[in-house]
Structure 1
Amino acid sequence: MNENILFVIQRIKEKLWFRPVIFCILSILGALVAQLADSTRLHELVPEIKNESLSELLNVIAASMLVIATFTVGSMLSAFAAASNTATPRSLKLIITDDVSQNALSVFIGSFIFSIVALVALKNGYYGKAGLFTLFVFTLLFFSLVILTFLRWVERISRLGRMGHTIKVIEDATANAINNRLTSPTLHGIKVNQNQEKAIPIYSELTGYVVKINMAELQKIAAKIDAVFTINALPGKFISLDQPLLYIVSQTSNTAVVDYQTLKKAFTVSHMRYFDEDPRFGLITLSEIASRALSPAVNDPGTAIQIISSHVRLFTLWNITVNTAPLNKVLYDRIAVPELVISDLFEDAFRPIARDGAANIEVMIRLQKAFCSLTNIAQKDIQAACSHNSIQAFERAKTVMKLEADILLLEKESLFTKQFKQSALL
């Protein structure tokens, strides 16, 4: 299936109305399909169900489900507002896609639709003896599903939108994006040849964030004109009219017949970023939460320390990748894709915390301990980034902290100090 179609389907599945609509359709089919039992010999085996008892049960479901569904929507909106106000508005996309809440809303609305359709059919004599029994079984199943869903949803709504839950959701989404990129650092393409001439730049006609690249389509075009495309705009990059999407390096003169509009359409541009294929966005979102927590209005250094721990877990994924040594399967041998730049990731993750928490000794010590932990990862780029950011964070704190004892303590715990002592011993 076309990658753009899959991307659109994924965005539709994230919509709040998608699952309720699917469940409503299934509910209507369930209420109507029950009548098919009348065409079988099931009526000879099942007991007779009175219309009144079934009607009362359906009335109870119809009367209560609409109220519960309305209450569910109200609770979800409150949770969304809490996540947006206490954490960061960027977390809202992930909170809205919470599976438990969407399933609960789907079950409640679907049960309401089922009861209404079943009541109308029941009052008009749509069911025979077997159909009534089948409808009764369906109603009991719906009722049981509602009870179980409600109990599960009450437990989830108590956490939905809370700071700890929001951080966990963002961290999980970022971990998935990082794992996907580490599995294929070049998006199943080839590495960029730094010495290769960048011949023809292709510029975007849109302004926004690249959220998806149709690699298969680019591979087709590149093979057709015997060229190599060098990607310049990875998912998450903000592009404007002066930013090339890619460069065409061709060995022939076939570039004259290239459909440049098709090339540009291979890049999906949106006004917002998504977490799926953009690891930097997740790191930025987590750092935004830490920056807000460190603001004088909030003054919550504990949340900033929690975010630092999240960053350590996320960068530790590089250590797991080194140990497991996954294969980067090349599917697009005519598309050169740049890999993630570790120094950029460290700036996204740690620079805002070092800037906004420079005056807080507890936050800065935890930040230096994070650098000490991450420097053990067998990646030269990560080790270099740890050393650089350790010095930068200390210099920021030194210009803000007023107590000399705090500065000396921070210097003692800093990574660059420990590295200096180790090199002196050698």
Structure 2
Amino acid sequence: MSADRFRMLVARFRERLWVKPLLMCVVSIAAAVGASLADGTGLAHVVPATASVALETLLSIMASSMLVIATFSVGSMVAAYGAASNTATPRSFGLVVADDVSQNALSTFVGAFIFSIVALTGVKNGYFLAAGLFVLFILTAAVFGLVIVTFVRWVDNIARLGRMNSTIEKVEQATADALVRRRNRPTLGGVPVRALPRGVPVHATEVGYVQQIDVARLQTWAVSVDARVVVAALPGAFAFPDRVLAYVSVAAEGDATPELGEVMASFTIGRERRFEDDPRFGLVVLSEIAGRALSPAVNDPGTAVSILGALVRLFAQWCQPAADDDAPACDRIEVPELSVHDMFDDAFTAIARDGAGSIEVALRLQKALQSLATLGGPAMRTAAEDHARRALERATSRMDLPYDLAQVRKAAAFATPALRDD
């Protein structure tokens, strides 16, 4: 299994609420039962005696309270998930579910409940002797301390979980991580496309979005059959039975076409787009949050302005020098690089459309595009100027007050030579 595929599987498990509680339950049962191992040692001669009645009382209190707290935590988490979907965008749900603090808190509460039930059953049935009771008391005190620390930390986190600012931060961070990975590996570990795609087309066999491409697996297959593969569908592309995923060409003419099942299996296709290997999806989600904030029902231009700031930070990070990739390139796999123009379309088109009538958003959009035009290279400057002109045209058709429109025209002068001359 390649590192990229393993990372994707880990990300999917992080979105499952049952994984961490299940692991904590196993650990709790092992700890409660393992305390009896001390009875076979000489520890009973050096530790103080522990009253089983006192231990039963502590465990009973923990068992009754932890179930209530765990139920309360689940209710609070579900409310936060609903708030994130309703106030921001449903596409942010996976990131909110994967919140480590909330999952750790739920796991701790459920684990403490299981620990107390198992330990209480053992104590009442005389399963532990003197040394075992002492070790169990130490474990119970440690679990109590862990629960208190976790609860205090979780209360601080749950007050922010699902709120707009918290959701925007999570989406921005996930997008930044994806952008850094793609910046450091612009061709996903392969080599740039050298010419027009040619060879045998490999079509998708199901409908969905390309979530991940196992380039290392493609390289291994291409070496085994002496072929080259040109990827035609990057992560985020919509796949359907007629969509070409890749083109395969064998080294020598006249050779039989190799079995292409391994090529299709290297493309992970799912119902939804994912953040990990699809930086453009993060830009789309941020744009969706801004679009919802600019809707007449919400009318929150401040959130759109915050999104513009996040987009500028992300593109500024994209312009940073790429880190050296020590992994050898998969020289038989050609992968196209991301288009800056496409990324700008994902990020700014919806905001320019929905915020064309808002002077706050229109001005901040022009300033954001101007900063990106001076920050990036020629491709980013061209894309920024193009979007600035489009945004100006939309503002011209939507704004009624001449003064507001004059302000936007002034801000867009960097992209319009006629306005600079004026």
The two structures have a TM-score, normalised by structure 2, of: 0.96
SS at 1:376's partner residue?
helix
2:401 corresponds to:
403
Deviation of the 1:197 alpha carbon: 4.9
Deviation of the 1:8 alpha carbon: 3.1
2:334 corresponds to:
336
SS at 2:381's partner residue?
helix
SS at 1:205's partner residue?
coil
C-alpha change, 1:325 and 1:151, in structure 2 (3 Å) is closer
Aligned equivalents of 1:184, 1:93: Cα separation in 2: 25
Q: Which runs of 5+ in 1 are unaligned?
A: none
In the alignment, residue 332 of structure 1 is paired with which amino acid? C
C-alpha change, 1:333 and 1:99, in structure 2 (3 Å) is same
Deviation of the 1:373 alpha carbon: 0.9
Deviation of the 1:320 alpha carbon: 1.9
1:390 corresponds to:
388
SS at 1:259's partner residue?
coil
1:174 corresponds to:
175
1:286 corresponds to:
286
Farther-moved stretch of structure 1 (335-344 vs 239-248): 239-248
In the alignment, residue 44 of structure 2 is paired with which amino acid? H
Deviation of the 1:230 alpha carbon: 0.5
In the alignment, residue 95 of structure 2 is paired with which amino acid? L
The two structures have a TM-score, normalised by structure 1, of: 0.95
Does the CA-based 8 Å contact 2:198-2:247 persist in structure 1?
A: yes
SS at 1:83's partner residue?
helix
Farther-moved stretch of structure 1 (294-303 vs 257-266): 257-266
1:26 corresponds to:
27
1:87 corresponds to:
88
Counterparts of 1:117-132 in structure 2 under 5 Å? 117-132=118-133
Deviation of the 1:103 alpha carbon: 0.2
TM-superposition CA deviations, 1:232-262 (whole Å, max 9, x none)? 1111111111210001132214762522222
TM-superposition CA deviations, 1:385-410 (whole Å, max 9, x none)? 01100000000110111111111111
Aligned equivalents of 2:127, 2:158: Cα separation in 1: 39
SS at 1:256's partner residue?
coil
Q: Does 1:214 align with 2:214?
A: yes
C-alpha change, 1:9 and 1:309, in structure 2 (3 Å) is closer
Counterparts of 1:88-103 in structure 2 under 5 Å? 88-103=89-104
Farther-moved stretch of structure 1 (377-386 vs 92-101): 377-386
Counterparts of 1:214-363 in structure 2 under 5 Å? 214-253=214-253, 256-321=256-321, 326-327=324-325, 329-363=327-361
Farther-moved stretch of structure 1 (328-337 vs 218-227): 328-337
1:46 corresponds to:
47
Aligned equivalents of 2:61, 2:78: Cα separation in 1: 26
C-alpha change, 1:75 and 1:175, in structure 2 (3 Å) is same
SS at 2:390's partner residue?
helix
Aligned equivalents of 1:227, 1:81: Cα separation in 2: 49
Aligned equivalents of 1:143, 1:420: Cα separation in 2: 71
Aligned equivalents of 2:40, 2:287: Cα separation in 1: 63
In the alignment, residue 396 of structure 1 is paired with which amino acid? R
1:203 corresponds to:
203
TM-superposition CA deviations, 1:40-74 (whole Å, max 9, x none)? 11111100000000000000000000000000000
SS at 1:277's partner residue?
coil
Deviation of the 1:212 alpha carbon: 1.3
Aligned equivalents of 2:145, 2:232: Cα separation in 1: 54
Aligned equivalents of 1:300, 1:214: Cα separation in 2: 41
Aligned equivalents of 2:320, 2:5: Cα separation in 1: 31
Q: Which runs of 5+ in 2 are unaligned?
A: none
Deviation of the 1:418 alpha carbon: 7.3
Does the CA-based 8 Å contact 1:365-1:410 persist in structure 2?
A: yes
C-alpha change, 1:186 and 1:132, in structure 2 (3 Å) is same
Does the CA-based 8 Å contact 2:105-2:150 persist in structure 1?
A: yes
Farther-moved stretch of structure 1 (412-421 vs 111-120): 412-421
Aligned equivalents of 1:421, 1:268: Cα separation in 2: 48
Aligned equivalents of 1:383, 1:97: Cα separation in 2: 36
Deviation of the 1:421 alpha carbon: 7.2
Deviation of the 1:84 alpha carbon: 0.4
C-alpha change, 1:35 and 1:189, in structure 2 (3 Å) is same
Q: Does 1:108 align with 2:104?
A: no
C-alpha change, 1:48 and 1:419, in structure 2 (3 Å) is farther
Aligned equivalents of 2:202, 2:118: Cα separation in 1: 56
SS at 2:275's partner residue?
coil
2:410 corresponds to:
412
Deviation of the 1:206 alpha carbon: 0.7
SS at 1:316's partner residue?
helix
Farther-moved stretch of structure 1 (328-337 vs 73-82): 328-337
TM-superposition CA deviations, 1:200-236 (whole Å, max 9, x none)? 1111111100111121221122112222111011111
1:134 corresponds to:
135
Deviation of the 1:416 alpha carbon: 3.2
Does the CA-based 8 Å contact 1:390-1:415 persist in structure 2?
A: no
Aligned equivalents of 1:67, 1:13: Cα separation in 2: 24
Does the CA-based 8 Å contact 1:318-1:377 persist in structure 2?
A: no
SS at 2:249's partner residue?
strand
C-alpha change, 1:10 and 1:254, in structure 2 (3 Å) is farther
Deviation of the 1:325 alpha carbon: 5.8
SS at 1:193's partner residue?
coil
Deviation of the 1:142 alpha carbon: 0.2
Does the CA-based 8 Å contact 2:386-2:415 persist in structure 1?
A: no
Percent identity, please: 47
Does the CA-based 8 Å contact 1:38-1:128 persist in structure 2?
A: yes
Q: CA RMSD in A?
A: 1.7
C-alpha change, 1:130 and 1:327, in structure 2 (3 Å) is closer
Deviation of the 1:329 alpha carbon: 4.9
